[in-house]
């Protein structure tokens, strides 16, 4: 069995200022998004509609706000509502952790709606532009989860070559390194598939639908190996909260993809 290295969550200390690895992985996520978005802007159908570096910088600002605010509020609403209602000031204690991807996605959707209105662009055109640039950021943040030794996996067969003991779990069990599974599935694999799919001009809305469907499916699969939140456990039908949140995401992805194709015809 492997043992999690139990990294120091603080990457660098400069006097009273402490820079956490988790924060650096978010910076890496936003940096990768920016570089990939610049490449997307050079594709003929986007270059023809005037996507510029300045627009991408503006969109990234809105996206960062949507990610942080939506991710935090999503965690509060989906995972620990009663706890935060009892201690509402803890909602602002983001340094203690607690972010939800599904909440962050909703926050980004709202931010992109506002951005699209300001720029006079069709909203789905903006989300199609953004979608292939997102998965590498997801992979980066999942690596941050692994470095922190959080969101570990369910118990695994100790003979599994990559089974890992997470000291933070406090039980000495061999577990799946589910953070790395998620980085590989929701991050790298989804990025490769979406990037290839989006190299050709698609009907407006189809790239966004493919992202919703692909992320939902890969996250649903990864949840079978991820330890459910201790205060929630498994919910109806033996599914985790993460899986239940993926169900409407998968359905929305299919409906959007089909609708976009029919609308184009």
- pLDDT (tens digit per residue) in 157-183: 999 999 999 998 989 999 999 999 999
In whole angstroms, what is the distance from residue 262 CA to residue 265 CA?
Answer: 5
Measured CA angle at 97 (ends 175, 243), to 5 deg: 55
Residue 36 has pLDDT above 80, yes or no: yes
The two tokens of residue 130 are: 């953004």
Q: Which residues pair with 153 in a beta bridge?
A: 226
Residue 129 has pLDDT above 70, yes or no: yes
Pairing of strands 164-165, 2-3: parallel
Read off the pLDDT band of 94 (50, 70, 90). low
Every domain of the chain and the residues it spans: 2-264
pLDDT for res 17: 81
Residue 2 has pLDDT above 90, yes or no: yes
Q: Which residues pair with 165 in a beta bridge?
A: 3, 174
Measured CA angle at 256 (ends 236, 132), to 5 deg: 95
Hunting for tokens 């694999």 — which residue is that?
A: 189
In whole angstroms, what is the distance from residue 201 CA to residue 45 CA?
Answer: 7
In whole angstroms, what is the distance from residue 166 CA to residue 42 CA?
Answer: 44
Read off the pLDDT band of 86 (50, 70, 90). confident
Average pLDDT over residues 134-146: 94
In whole angstroms, what is the distance from residue 23 CA to residue 123 CA?
Answer: 29
User: Across the chain, which distance is largest between two alpha carbons, in Å?
Assistant: 61
Q: Is 152 helix (H, G, I), strand (E, B) or coil?
A: coil
pTM: 0.88
In whole angstroms, what is the distance from residue 240 CA to residue 233 CA?
Answer: 7
Share of the chain above pLDDT 70, in %: 98
Residue 123 has pLDDT above 80, yes or no: yes
Please answer whether residues 45 and 128 qualify as being in contact, where contact means their C-beta atoms are separated by less than 8 angstroms: no
Q: Per-residue pLDDT tens for 142-153? A: 999 999 898 899
In whole angstroms, what is the distance from residue 223 CA to residue 245 CA?
Answer: 11
Beta strands, E only, the chain: 2-3, 10-14, 17-20, 164-165, 174-175
In whole angstroms, what is the distance from residue 224 CA to residue 13 CA?
Answer: 37
In whole angstroms, what is the distance from residue 101 CA to residue 211 CA?
Answer: 14
pLDDT for res 130: 95
In whole angstroms, what is the distance from residue 78 CA to residue 102 CA?
Answer: 9
Binding-site residue numbers are 142
Read off the pLDDT band of 97 (50, 70, 90). low
Please answer whether residues 156 and 176 qualify as being in contact, where contact means their C-beta atoms are separated by less than 8 angstroms: yes
The two tokens of residue 262 are: 């029919």
The backbone torsions φ and ψ at residue 31, rounded to the nearest 5 degrees and listed phi first, read -65, -45
């Amino acid at each position: 069995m492997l043992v999690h290295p139990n990294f120091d969550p603080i990457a660098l200390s400069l006097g009273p200022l402490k820079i956490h690895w988790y924060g650096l992985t978010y910076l890496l996520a936003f940096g990768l998004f920016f570089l990939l978005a610049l490449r997307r802007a050079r594709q003929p159908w986007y270059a023809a509609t005037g996507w510029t570096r300045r627009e991408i910088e503006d969109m990234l600002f809105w996206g960062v706000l949507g990610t942080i605010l939506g991710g935090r509020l999503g965690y509060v609403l989906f995972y620990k509502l009663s706890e935060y209602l009892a201690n509402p000031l803890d909602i602002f204690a983001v340094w203690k952790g607690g972010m939800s991807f599904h909440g962050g996605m909703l926050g980004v959707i709202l931010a992109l709606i506002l951005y699209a209105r300001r720029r006079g662009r069709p909203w789905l055109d903006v989300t199609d532009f953004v979608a292939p640039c997102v998965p590498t950021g997801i992979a980066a943040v999942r690596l941050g989860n692994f470095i922190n030794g959080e969101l570990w996996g369910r118990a695994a067969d100790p003979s599994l070559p990559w089974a890992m003991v997470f000291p933070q779990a406090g039980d000495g069990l061999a577990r799946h390194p589910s953070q790395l599974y998620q980085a590989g599935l929701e991050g790298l694999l989804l990025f490769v598939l979406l990037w290839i799919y989006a190299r050709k001009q698609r009907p407006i809305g189809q790239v966004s639908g493919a992202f919703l469907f692909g992320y939902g499916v890969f996250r649903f699969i990864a949840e079978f190996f991820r330890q459910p939140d201790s205060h929630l456990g498994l919910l109806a039908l033996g599914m985790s909260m993460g899986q239940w949140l993926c169900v409407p995401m998968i359905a929305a992805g299919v409906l959007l993809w089909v609708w976009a194709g029919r609308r184009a015809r």
